[in-house]
Chain A
Amino acid sequence: MDAPSCQHTALSGVSQVGSMKGYLMISMKKSVTVVLGIALATALLASPANANEVKNTAPCERRGEVAVAKGIEYKCSLFGKSLRWKKVGAAAAGAASTAGNNADYANVSGKISIDGSSTVAPLTGVAAEAFQKVSKTQITVGISGTGGGFSRFCKGETDISNASRPIKSTEAAECAKNGIKYTEMIVANDALTVVINKNNTWAACLTTAELKKIWNTGSTVTRWNQVRSTFPAAKMVLYGAGTDSGTFDYFTEAINGKAQVSRKDYNPTEDDNVTVNGVRRSAGATGYYGLSYYLENSDVNKAVQIDSGKGCVTPSAANVINGTYTPLGRPLFVYVKHESAKSNSAVIPFMTYYKENLAALAKKAQFVALSAEQQTKLNSELDAIKKLA
């Protein structure tokens, strides 16, 4: 009897629903699954034998394993496509576990919801990770972009908002309308870095006027020789931040003169990693993102020196602090909701931890630390919030 099975109906739009009549497939699938399962289980659970001799970049067996040899601490790390011993710096700051106050946080519990800029997220993320290790809190860090983060923040959905630009007046009005009071805090500095491919030898230094030529709305620049006639005629591929990104707002305002004014034909992304990868792939590609991403990926992207009238300046922590890296040096913000500070018992401890360990955290996440006066300002802002609780 060849009555057709109803498999098709279930399959329309469905990845897989097996035929109800098929006891045909049992043995085959059984064996495949069992084999695969056993292989994976043994791989996952079997403890590897003792690692090879502990020496920098010698191969090792178990990821994350820590060993000490001749007084130097090593950690088994992913190194390209293998596991090797890596020297852990003398500042075993590791998880920024600064001594002393951590015991205070052991009993802190609660949930903190953080969202916003994907530029600031690595810094707050490192803080959140470290804080969760010494306390009982649950912290999520989203990457909806500065704009997206603010919209959620002003609806009351999040406790803290990461931002790579200051809050706009329209957003502030929205917050006021919903009764959301907040404190703006600067937690790090950033140098918006313009990057080019490693094989791009000609555009090592660009003027702000040239950048505007490339990125302004209505720009028809598709080849490098349209930027400067001495450049080769290589095809230009553009990567940049998406429109929800504070990086986008800041870059367009600094370079094109007005926020969100930009050409539209580039590869946009909220995730700066995509820009890193994109620029890495083609010789004529260029993009922009925060300094921390550059420091993480300086082996695959090259930074452009920016000339805003006083010569070519390299993006670096020092140049941001001494003010020579303009107009792309910028502060990075964290906005804390007053209501959360009052009612969420985890928020103030978290912010305190953040502030106290900021130097170590910034170093770990490769952000530019605060200047002395910025640090003082941060301290007083935090004290003011503490008084709210």
Chain B
Amino acid sequence: MEVGMYDLSQTDRTGSATAEGVSLAPSAHLRRRNLVQKIAVNIMRAGTVVTVVITAGIIFSLIPPTIQLLSEIGTQIFGTSWAPLFIPPEFGLLPLITGTFVIVLIAMMVAIPFGLAAALFLSDYASYQTRRFVKPILEILAGIPTVVLGLFGLYFVNPKLVEKYWPIGESVGYSALGAGLMTGILTLPIVASVADDALSSVPRAMREAGYALGATRREVATKVVFNAGISGVVAAVILAFARAFGETTVALMVAGSYPKLSGNPGDPMQTMASFIGFAGIGDQPTDSTGYRTIFLVGALLFLITLVFNLIGNRIILRYREVYE
């Protein structure tokens, strides 16, 4: 809706009727309306500016400390030991990166199969009634606060599952495996919902064509619908990935705060996000090395999730255009 396109008052030629006849100037009433509109629109524009300010705030808060720290420590970030709050500090990012990677990977191993299964179920197998029942289940799962999942991971998954059944290594009450499982459950609704969106919007004609050619429901679901909606599925995975990356509370409570460089999911590990949480509890004086380290890791986290979100959203935009 272009401003002014339908707005008759802008091209208004109807004046007001007076005793002398009709004048062509806009009446006071119309002038006031226009003014009100102008003011309102400007107030709304100001609101939009707020979002830009927030983004600018993110960038301006993250960049200066990061650059300052990088100029001081340079290539130390390629080291293998992360101990920025010790004296002498060590800034090797590798343990944080592997820790994040392990947990996100495990999370995806949980979220993707079950999330896609839920999505396929909803789009192709569920009747109207079943859908009414199942969608809320996913919403309820999405609504569980992360602290609660962390609590569950800490007091059930770690002691009663990981400690008892994970064969490799010695368990210390924290594990990346537990954190990964909980984060997977956290991101499952995202995969399910976005994928369901995509798969549901595949035109019925395609499904019917499949059925007409003798395919079973499974074959239509997996070979027709899934492939047609693949871009949406990919977007779902990418967005879930980004969410898992940024999860702080679960990782902090369940995976511990020891940045161990290890490939064993039974070990405690620290992710980028949980390091920020951990360091934030113990207050860091502004402009200390500790403070700048938080921002360095935060900048990295922000960048990675930004890239993933950009790609994911772009894919969604494109597939929606195709179908609309």
Contacts and interface: CB of A to CB of B under 8 A. Distances in A.
Q: Do A and B come from one complex?
A: yes
B180 to A, nearest CB: 18
A7 B135 contact: no
A243 B89 CA distance: 11
Interface stretch (A27-35, A95-103, A338-346): A27-35
Interface string A1-14: 01111011101110
B316 interface: yes
B57 interface: no
B4 interface: no
B195 to A, nearest CB: 9
Interface in A1-49: 2-5, 7-9, 11-13, 15-16, 18-19, 22, 24-25, 27-29, 32
Interface in B155-206: 163, 170-174, 186, 189-190, 193-194, 197-198, 200-201, 203-204
B251 interface: no
Contacts, number: 152
A9 B139 contact: no
Contacts of A271: 281
| Highest count of chain B CB atoms <10 Å: which of A9, A11, A278, A282 | A11
B132 A28 contact: yes
Interface stretch (A141-149, A304-312, A370-378): A141-149
B257 interface: yes
Given A13-B242, A13-B246, A267 B258 contact: yes
A149 B320 CA distance: 52
6 contacts: A4-B201, A19-B135, A29-B140, A152-B283, A245-B282, A282-B171
A235 interface: yes
A262 interface: yes
A162 interface: no
Interface residues of A, number: 56
A147 B284 CA distance: 9
Interface string A225-251: 000000000010100001111000000
B309 A12 contact: yes
Contact of A266 (B131, B239, B258): B258
Contacts of B128: 24
Interface stretch (B6-14, B32-40, B79-87): B79-87
Shortest 3 CB-CB contacts between residues of A and residues of B: A148-B283, A144-B283, A16-B142
A286 interface: no
A244 B288 CA distance: 12
Give the interface size class of chain B: 35 or more
Given A8-B194, A148-B285, A2 B200 contact: yes
A270 interface: yes
A260 interface: yes
A170 B288 CA distance: 13
A248 B249 CA distance: 25
B312 interface: yes
Contacts of A3: 201, 324
Contacts of A28: 132-133, 136-137
Query: Which DSSP category, helix, strand, loop or mixed, fits chain A's interface?
Result: loop
A237 B281 contact: no
| Highest count of chain B CB atoms <10 Å: which of A24, A142, A271 | A24
Contacts of B281: 143-144, 270-271
Contact of A278 (B85, B173, B316): B173
Contacts of A365: none
Interface in B204-257: 204, 235-236, 239, 242-243, 246, 256-257
Interface in B121-149: 128, 131-133, 135-137, 139-140, 142-143, 146
A349 B171 CA distance: 49
B85 to A, nearest CB: 4
B197 A8 contact: yes
Contacts of B186: 15
A285 interface: yes
Nearest to A235: B170
Nearest to B135: A25
B268 interface: yes
Contact of B283 (A18, A24, A27, A244): A244
Contacts of B324: 3
Contacts of A284: 170
